[in-house]
Amino acid sequence: MTSGLARRAGALGALGVLAALSLACLPVQAAPGGLFTQLMALLGARQQGTASFLARTYAAGLTRPLVSSGELRYRAPDHLEQRTLKPTPSELILDGERLTVHRDGHTRRLNLRDYPDIAVYVDALRDTLGGQGAGLKRRFAVRLTGTLAQWQLILRPRQGNSHVRRIRLTGAGADIHTIEILAPDGARTVMRIGPSSAS
């Protein structure tokens, strides 16, 4: 049973890390308009980037959080990579509708449209990373507070989603510092995003 919980928590963590591919970029002038419009413009101006991540996943039945760390890469408009270095090396690559997973010497290729719950979630992530505010608002109830210098964005799926109840992001300007993903059963992943270890 514990291994099953670990797999579920690990899957939540992997999805969360994809969410963390907001990545550092050079400062960009804020666009005119409200805070949400300005933030979307800053995020949408990013074309590529890398970052490090440290993720902790908490779930009922686990005696301690699952911890993973590694590096992230993003290239607009829809290429995302998660390279986990610890505890078990693995790589997830998202290109358009194709998700490729490399782990333990095996490769799996999945079509996101065969997994509608995950596909809706990933679409929303891409809307955030690409600064597509209209698409984000179609899929999520959006609540943004703070200022461009220190903001908090809370996303709640408009339609039921078996994987995500709420996503909470905090950041400054175009940099996302933390992401918290809450599942309907209370499982939670918290990520901290930092500079790439290669930089």
pLDDT tens series, the chain, 199 aa: 444 544 544 555 555 545 444 343 334 444 446 999 999 999 889 888 888 999 999 999 999 999 999 998 888 888 888 899 999 999 989 898 898 999 999 999 999 888 766 776 677 677 877 888 998 898 889 999 999 999 999 999 887 767 888 889 898 888 889 889 898 899 999 999 887 655 4
Which pLDDT score, from 0 to 100, does residue 63 have? 93
Quick check: 131 and 137 in contact, CB under 8 A?
A: no
* Amino acid symbol at 22: S
Side by side, the strands of the sheet bearing 106-111 are 106-111, 98-103, 90-95, 79-86, 66-75, 48-58, 188-194, 175-182, 166-172, 150-157, 140-147
> Domain 2-194 is classified in which CATH homologous superfamily?
Lipoprotein localisation LolA/LolB/LppX (2.50.20.10)
Spell out the domain ranges in the chain: 2-194
Distances (CA, A) of 73 to 26, 122, 130, 140, 155: 15, 15, 14, 24, 23
**53 closest CA partner among 26, 94, 93, 13:** 13
Quick check: 69 and 52 in contact, CB under 8 A?
A: yes
What whole-number distance in Å separates Cα of residue 22 and Cα of residue 4? 29
Which pLDDT score, from 0 to 100, does residue 151 have? 93
